[in-house]
Amino acid sequence: MTEFMEVHVQTNRNRRVPRSIDTRQEIFGNSDARDRHRKLDLFRDMIGASVNLALRDKSCCMDINFLNRFLYAKKFDCEAALDLLIKYLLFKEHNKHILQKLSIFDENIQTSLRDGNPSVLKQRDR
């Protein structure tokens, strides 16, 4: 079995992934890890400099994974990611009553799941 694996790896080593399939390059352009890290630092600085009332508690915005969600969603456009973050925090603030009572066992949510309203994506979204 390992012989097959070695042959398979050697034959596929020089194959290039077609550009249409390489979604990572389409999403991020030619950015690399340093560029994404630089954008993350810029995003953190923008959050720190913001005077928007939604960002008054800036401690929740220092988690790298949390911030990367917004950067990935906006293809590392820091201004658009900041707008999305502000809208997210405002939504959470204005809808506390909904989010506090939210439970997977709620009858309405169970009905929606049975009806197939939310569904699983057939492909990865990134």
Report the top-level CATH class of 23-115: mainly alpha
Q: In 91-116, which positions are buried (b, 16+ CB within 10 angstroms) versus exposed (e)? A: eeeeeeeeeeeeeeeeeeeeeeeeee
- Residues 19 and 25: beta-carbon distance below 8 Å: yes
Q: Which of 7-11, 79-83, 111-115 has the least mean pLDDT? A: 7-11
Q: What percent of the chain has pLDDT over 90?
A: 31
Mean pLDDT (whole number) for 117-122: 77
The predicted model scores a pTM of 0.61
